[in-house]
Structure 1
């Protein structure tokens, strides 16, 4: 796995909506997999989901690193450097 400074310096905030994607929960949408923003704890759905809310959060807020919010998965993704860590 590659790494970058954004990933190594990322925090681990509490999830803002531990039960699922923040936007999908608000609108009644659905998701495939979840990602948690490591800057603010926003939980959004992955790009395979209809809403693609994790990427939309990055594009709007510019928080660079997300982690999988799926049980048993332990990886991080940096949108800025396009690397997994």
Structure 2
């Protein structure tokens, strides 16, 4: 899988992008399926699952952003002290 290859080679940004792109593609497919007809109980649960995945992906992105900002700040503080 391209994501694993990117991760193994140390391309952390690319592997995360590929994971997010895969999730977005899957959610798009689910959304199209849900719009094309009446919703059964199973489709309703898929919709709820898709919403949960979307929220989880957003939370992960926000956490990653916070860690990146903290790391960036830490490097600049350490550099300024030295």
Same-fold call, TM cutoff 0.5: no
Higher strand proportion:
1
- Please state which band the TM-score falls in when normalised by the shorter chain: under 0.3
Q: TM-score, structure 2 length as denominator?
A: 0.23
Q: TM-score, structure 1 length as denominator?
A: 0.23
Which structure has the higher relative contact order (CA within 8 Å, separation 6+)? 1
Higher helix proportion:
2
